[in-house]
A and B are shown apart, each in its own frame.
Chain A
Amino acid sequence: MSPEDSKLAADTIEYRPGQMAEPADHDDPLHGAQVELNIGPSHPATHGVLRLKVLADGEVLTRIEPVIGYLHRGKEKACESLGWRKFFVHTDRLDYLQPMLNNVGYAMALEKLAHLEVPERAQVIRVLMMETNRIMSHLIALGVSAMDLGAISMFFFTFDQREKIYDLIDAYTGHRMNNTYIRMGGVYADLEEELERHFSAFFDNFIEQVDEWESLLTGNRIWYERNRGIGAITAEQALSWGLTGPNLRGSGVAYDLRKSEPYCGYEDYDFEIPIGERGDAFDRYLVRIEELRQSARICTQALERLKSSRGANVIADDRRYVLPRLSDVTSSMEELIHQFKIVTDMSLPRGEAYMGVESSKGELGFYIASDGTAAPLRCHLRSPSLMNVQVIPFLAEGKLLSDVVAVLGSVDFVMGEVDR
């Protein structure tokens, strides 16, 4: 890259006084010419196809510019052309580490627009699935952030447990990822009694595992030194950057949609919102570890509730939006026509709706606007990962290369959701 090009690249980033290094002075032996370095789009620490264009003064990265768009698939546009129902399979592929959480977010936006009531048992199954998905996503965040800092075994420990959850999810939905099991008005199928027991058995041992991981990392001097004070952000700054989820809670703001605007009956569950104090990578790590425990707690309560509602309906009985049973479709002409109508041109009432759910990365919002036809007028995603990526330069500029890797791991983003 020619010097002009690199200057152009540098100029696209706004200067923030106090954080930036001095401009390169070629006569100064300590702060001479800066190296332009590409971290990504294929780099072990970027976890996906994020590209960081950085200017490096030795080990210190004086300027960082995240470049996104390598995974852009036009998801929002796809929703507008595919229609209400068919977008469900696409929501799985947004943040592919927590497919069902995305499903629920989208389904609830539709239900809000259509004023559709979801049966009690379906709500509980949704909560169970959302929390297991949150655990899965946090396990990845924990494993890879540890791996980035060199604790490679942690990655395998968390993946080991994640595999077990995948087995359970697989037994329920028939897929490991991209389940698309949440439907408008409920869930596709009931959770069987035996599977409930398997879920319970998993969560009985899970807390022990979390304690073991904590014993490997939390008290570890190297881990502490690598994370404490790295990428610190105050509560006000975090709010103005639009951070939500564990990143905001790490800064000490107890904002969690499950508590502040409960949905799916979260108000009936007994759980706590962990918050940090300093808003650095270590606090974000501690918040995620504690959320693993709290999610397991919610899951245990959800499984308890499932016991008392066995056999109940898991999808709303509303013929406008819910498909008829397959056995009826194959035996009755009217039901077949009904199914065809729903699949081809199910339309939602005019209006708009926004539904935000607490995903593992922050507030995952679906905004949909309908003109009463079979496809949305506009579908917009509020992606928490995008907010997490945009804060990276603020957190990491002027830090060492190793710290940037620690920040990348601790803010936790998934490129599928950033690019959409």
Chain B
Amino acid sequence: MTVLLATFIKAVVIFGALVSAAGLATLAERKVSAWIQHRLGPNRVGPFGALQPLADGVKFIFKEEFVPEGATRWLFILAPAISAMAAMMSVAVIPFGGLVTEIDGTEIYFSIADLDIGALWVVAIGGLGIYGVILGGWASNSKYSLYGGLRASAQMISYELPLILSILAVVAMSDTLNLREIVNIQTSGTAFGFLPNWNIFYQPLAFVLFVVCTFAETNRHPFDFAECESELVGGFHTEYSSMKFALFFLGEYCAMIVMASLTVTLFLGGFSVPYWEEAPWYLGVAAFVAKTAFFMFLFLWVRWTLPRFRYDQLMNLGWKVFLPLSLLNILLTGLAVSL
């Protein structure tokens, strides 16, 4: 019973943290873009504009619900829900920290579910999110939206493969799909004598492939073809307004956070504190948040610096460069593991 209660508490805490972090991420996006572009950014609501996400949320709630004529109504409403739900569900297996406490002989870890197929879960559920984009674009009864949805589906197929293959390289090395176990393996020992024992030092190629693929996976710039405001005028969410639009937004930022967490978990030792194996669990959480924040910043940094790829260039990159590279990486990893 207490174990069930603990799981419930964890679910509420982590879900709340995720949604508020997504809110913070929208603020960070605007602040970082303002710094990069010599602007001030939001600074009116609360100190330094800190309450801007709240104001935005309130604004979205009061905006008019609008379903365009000819749209498939139930799909149109369902699509943003799928998008947000998939991103939020995939966070369930991310280990934010290590062992917190022990209740009745059951170890309580700082993750909602300590699944043995954690890595698989993230990929499977996270991949569902694209249905929201495709259905939203299709149900809108707008040509631009349809273009966005179509682009998203093609992009998804091209990038899921190298993404999964680079996860597979780590899994092959760690011999487990459990994300907490993957972190634990990285916690102890050192790589090459002096570096933390993180997978990034053993799998640099997989790391690079994975990080680039997360950009495509989350529909972020420079791969934001589904949205692509200068060509498709907003793409799949052109016709969306009020909370339905906000849900797409929330889904995108949650997916970014999940992907950043996954990067940290798989390649940067997750919640482990470098050079301190017996660090208390809350320091582990802090280390995790710090590492994730860096990758979140990377998402923003890239968005406000680089031009956008062209659609067919992305396909070329995915199929002709990334896929062979990730296959090669799997081959090398397999050889190294078996020897």
Binding site for B on A (CB under 8 A): 35, 37, 43-45, 59, 146-153, 156-157, 160, 216-217, 220, 222-223, 225-226, 400-403, 405
* Residue from B36, B39, B224, B230 within 8 A of A147 (CB atoms): B230
Binding site for A on B (CB under 8 A): 33, 36-39, 143-144, 147, 221-222, 224, 228-233, 304-313
Whether the pair B222, A222 counts as a contact (CB closer than 8 A) is yes
Q: Which residues of A contact B221 (CB under 8 A)?
A: 150
The 5 closest A-B pairs by CB, nearest first: A150-B308, A156-B37, A151-B307, A149-B307, A148-B230
A44-B233, A45-B231, A148-B230 given as contacts; is B311 within 8 A of A153 (CB)? no
Q: Which residues of A contact B305 (CB under 8 A)?
A: 151, 153, 216
Whether the pair B231, A405 counts as a contact (CB closer than 8 A) is yes
* Residue from B222, B229, B312 within 8 A of A44 (CB atoms): B229
20 contacts between A and B (CB under 8 A): A44-B229, A59-B147, A59-B311, A146-B307, A148-B230, A149-B230, A150-B306, A150-B307, A152-B304, A153-B304, A153-B305, A222-B308, A225-B313, A226-B308, A226-B313, A402-B228, A402-B310, A402-B311, A403-B310, A405-B230
Q: Chain A at the B interface: mostly helix, strand, loop or mixed?
A: helix
A62 → chain B closest CB, angstroms? 15
Q: In the docked arrangement, what's the CA distance between A401 and B231, Å?
A: 7
Please, which residue of chain A has its CB at the minimum distance from the CB of B306?
A: A222
Whether the pair A226, B38 counts as a contact (CB closer than 8 A) is no
Please, which residue of chain B has its CB at the minimum distance from the CB of A146?
A: B307
**Extra contacts besides A149-B308, A150-B230 (9): CB < 8 Å:** A44-B229, A44-B230, A45-B231, A149-B307, A150-B307, A222-B308, A226-B310, A402-B228, A402-B310
B316 → chain A closest CB, angstroms? 10
Q: Which of B230, B232, B312 is packed against the most chain A CB atoms within 10 Å?
A: B230
Whether the pair A402, B38 counts as a contact (CB closer than 8 A) is no
Whether the pair B230, A45 counts as a contact (CB closer than 8 A) is yes
Q: In the docked arrangement, what's the CA distance between A35 and B143, Å?
A: 8
Q: In the docked arrangement, what's the CA distance between A403 and B306, Å?
A: 17
Q: In the docked arrangement, what's the CA distance between A37 and B311, Å?
A: 18
Whether the pair B307, A223 counts as a contact (CB closer than 8 A) is yes
Q: Which residues of A contact B143 (CB under 8 A)?
A: 35, 37
Total of A-B residue pairs, C-beta within 8 Å: 77
Q: Which residues of A contact B307 (CB under 8 A)?
A: 146, 149-151, 217, 220, 222-223, 226
A200 → chain B closest CB, angstroms? 23
Please, which residue of chain B has its CB at the minimum distance from the CB of A152?
A: B304
Q: In the docked arrangement, what's the CA distance between A151 and B38, Å?
A: 15
Q: Which residues of A contact B229 (CB under 8 A)?
A: 44
A150-B308, A226-B307 given as contacts; is B39 within 8 A of A402 (CB)? no
Q: In the docked arrangement, what's the CA distance between A340 and B316, Å?
A: 71
Q: Which residues of B contact A149 (CB under 8 A)?
A: 230, 307-308
A44 → chain B closest CB, angstroms? 5
B327 → chain A closest CB, angstroms? 23
A44-B229, A149-B230, A150-B222 given as contacts; is B311 within 8 A of A400 (CB)? yes
A160-B38, A220-B306, A222-B306 given as contacts; is B312 within 8 A of A400 (CB)? yes
A284 → chain B closest CB, angstroms? 16
* Residue from A44, A45, A148, A157 within 8 A of B37 (CB atoms): A157
Q: In the docked arrangement, what's the CA distance between A225 and B306, Å?
A: 13
Q: Which residues of B contact A150 (CB under 8 A)?
A: 221-222, 224, 230, 306-308
Q: Which residues of B contact A151 (CB under 8 A)?
A: 305-308
Please, which residue of chain A has its CB at the minimum distance from the CB of B37?
A: A156
Please, which residue of chain B has its CB at the minimum distance from the CB of A144?
A: B230
Q: Which residues of B contact A401 (CB under 8 A)?
A: 147, 231-232, 311
Q: In the docked arrangement, what's the CA distance between A152 and B39, Å?
A: 13
Q: Which residues of A contact B311 (CB under 8 A)?
A: 59, 400-402
Q: Which of B309, B310, B312 is packed against the most chain A CB atoms within 10 Å?
A: B310
Please, which residue of chain B has its CB at the minimum distance from the CB of A155?
A: B37
Q: In the docked arrangement, what's the CA distance between A160 and B38, Å?
A: 8
Whether the pair B231, A402 counts as a contact (CB closer than 8 A) is yes
Q: In the docked arrangement, what's the CA distance between A160 and B39, Å?
A: 9
Q: Which residues of A contact B312 (CB under 8 A)?
A: 59, 400
Q: Which of A146, A402, A403 is packed against the most chain B CB atoms within 10 Å?
A: A402
Q: Which residues of B contact A222 (CB under 8 A)?
A: 222, 306-309
Whether the pair A156, B39 counts as a contact (CB closer than 8 A) is yes
A178 → chain B closest CB, angstroms? 26
Please, which residue of chain A has its CB at the minimum distance from the CB of B38?
A: A160
Q: Which residues of A contact B222 (CB under 8 A)?
A: 150, 222
Whether the pair A43, B233 counts as a contact (CB closer than 8 A) is yes
Q: Which residues of B contact A402 (CB under 8 A)?
A: 228, 231, 308, 310-311
Q: Which residues of B contact A226 (CB under 8 A)?
A: 307-310, 313
Q: Which residues of A contact B38 (CB under 8 A)?
A: 156-157, 160
